[in-house]
């Protein structure tokens, strides 16, 4: 089997409401969609969702370099995903979002060629994945109101964005805990917003509100700081922006820097590296989360299949498609009761892109 053509589409998807975190605000979600054609008639679809403050790519940069990446793949074997992933890492080492779109499409082709859903291709079973939903940065009162609304919708866990000044962050957490009540799962994400001193004080004070974990309290490069904070914290710590690939995972393990890993396909450049990160985590007794940016349904579906297939992935933050005013993707999964997600049982990802929607997008074709 050979790749004969790759279509790239540039999508700008409005959010229901602006989504603000410590390192940036998203009002329009930017994705690149890929459709990879083969001489066997199989077409794989993929998506990479671009959040510049984390990955460093922009929609313009991904759109500019996309045809070069596509040209490198045309004529190659789409089923040899290891070779394609290594090829893309060598040629485009810092373009993880673009690579994730192309690689996800290759996994979709593999599933369709095998006539198996992706979770089965990965050697797993179809098990439910329970996602939290996220309250972005707003005033404490607004955040508490939104947390309560997520609880009313049936979600059983909420991610709370913090990472600004300590007094306001603590007030946010106090009001949210009062709103949702004791025992409700709250996960804090500072998105690198604190320095070591502030993070140390925050972890001590936040413990009173019983968070399950605190994610990325300090800047991504400060592995030593993360390890120091972990040694003094009663609250478990999760690495996110400090973790892109298996090499980062090894560094975090060696430093004793975190209790959990957050794997995102846009950071890991797809499933191939995500599997490596999870394996290192499992060997080091570090459970994993699979997270997202503000992804539409293709990337979320790929993440749901991955999480379903790996039991060491015990947390999910896959609410991106729920934040979009309109998701142009059908199938793959659905937001069920309690935030439960189940992967599709059709071949590959089990998703379809709306043809009329694609017809209105900027398009590049490489043959």
Task: Give the orientation angle of helix 271-283 with respect to helix 297-309, to 10 degrees.
Answer: 30
Q: Say which of 112, 159, 161, 267 is annotated catalytic.
A: 161
Q: Dihedral angle at the C-alpha atoms of 348, 351, 14, 288, nearest 10 degrees?
A: -40
Q: Say which of 132, 189, 295, 327 is annotated catalytic.
A: 189
Residue 72: helix, strand or coil by DSSP? helix
Annotated catalytic residue 159: no
Q: Say which of 103, 228, 246, 264 is annotated catalytic.
A: 264
Residue 132: name the closest of 158, 151, 162, 150 by CA.
Answer: 158
Sign of CA dihedral 206, 211, 213, 217: negative
Annotated catalytic residue 215: yes
Annotated catalytic residue 77: no
Rounded Cα gap, residues 321 and 363, in angstroms: 22
- DSSP bridge partners of 366: 6
Q: Say which of 240, 246, 248, 295 is annotated catalytic.
A: 240
Annotated catalytic residue 240: yes
The string of DSSP codes covering 82-123 is HHHHHHHHHH-TT-HHHHHHHHHHHHHHHHHHHTSBHHHHTT
Half-sphere exposure of 317 (CA within 13 A, CB side): 25
Asked if 113 contacts 79 with a C-beta cutoff of 8 angstroms, the reply is yes
Annotated catalytic residue 189: yes
* Residue 236: Cβ within 10 Å count: 16
The two tokens of residue 66 are 């996309």
Q: Say which of 47, 132, 169, 215 is annotated catalytic.
A: 215
Instruction: List the catalytic residues.
Output: 161, 189, 215, 240, 264
């Amino acid at each position: 089997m050979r790749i004969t053509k790759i279509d790239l589409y540039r999508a700008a998807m409005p959010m229901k409401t602006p989504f603000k975190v410590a390192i940036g605000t998203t009002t329009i979600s930017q994705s690149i969609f890929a459709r990879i054609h083969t001489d066997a008639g199989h077409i794989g679809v993929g998506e990479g969702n671009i959040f510049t403050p984390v990955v460093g790519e922009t929609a313009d940069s991904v759109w500019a370099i996309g045809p070069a990446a596509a040209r490198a793949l045309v004529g190659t074997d789409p089923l040899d995903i290891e070779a394609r992933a290594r090829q893309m890492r060598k040629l485009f080492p810092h373009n993880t979002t673009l690579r994730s779109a192309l690689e996800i499409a290759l996994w979709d082709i593999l599933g369709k060629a095998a006539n198996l859903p992706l979770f089965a291709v990965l050697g797993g079973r179809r098990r439910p994945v329970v996602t939290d939903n996220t309250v972005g940065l707003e005033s404490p009162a607004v955040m508490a109101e939104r947390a309560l609304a997520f609880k009313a919708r049936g979600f059983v866990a909420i991610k709370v964005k913090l990472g600004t000044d300590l007094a306001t962050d603590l007030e946010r957490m106090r009001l949210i805990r009062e709103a949702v009540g004791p025992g409700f799962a709250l996960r804090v994400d500072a998105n690198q917003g604190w320095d070591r001193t502030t993070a140390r004080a925050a972890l001590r004070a936040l413990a009173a509100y019983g968070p399950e974990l605190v994610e990325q309290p300090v800047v991504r490069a400060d592995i030593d700081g993360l390890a120091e904070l972990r040694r003094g914290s009663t609250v478990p710590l999760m690495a996110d922006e400090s973790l892109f690939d298996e090499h980062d995972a090894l560094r975090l393990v060696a430093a004793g820097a975190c209790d959990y890993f957050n794997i995102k396909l846009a950071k890991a450049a797809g499933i191939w590296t995500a599997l490596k990160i999870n394996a290192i985590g499992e060997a080091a007794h570090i459970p994993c989360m699979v997270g997202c940016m503000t992804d539409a349904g293709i990337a979320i579906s790929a993440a749901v299949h991955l999480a379903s297939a790996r039991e060491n992935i015990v947390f999910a933050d896959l609410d991106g498609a729920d934040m979009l005013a309109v998701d142009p993707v059908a199938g793959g999964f659905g937001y069920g009761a309690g935030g439960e997600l189940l992967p599709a049982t059709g071949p590959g990802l089990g998703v379809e892109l709306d043809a009329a929607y694609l017809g209105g997008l900027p398009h590049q074709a490489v043959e």
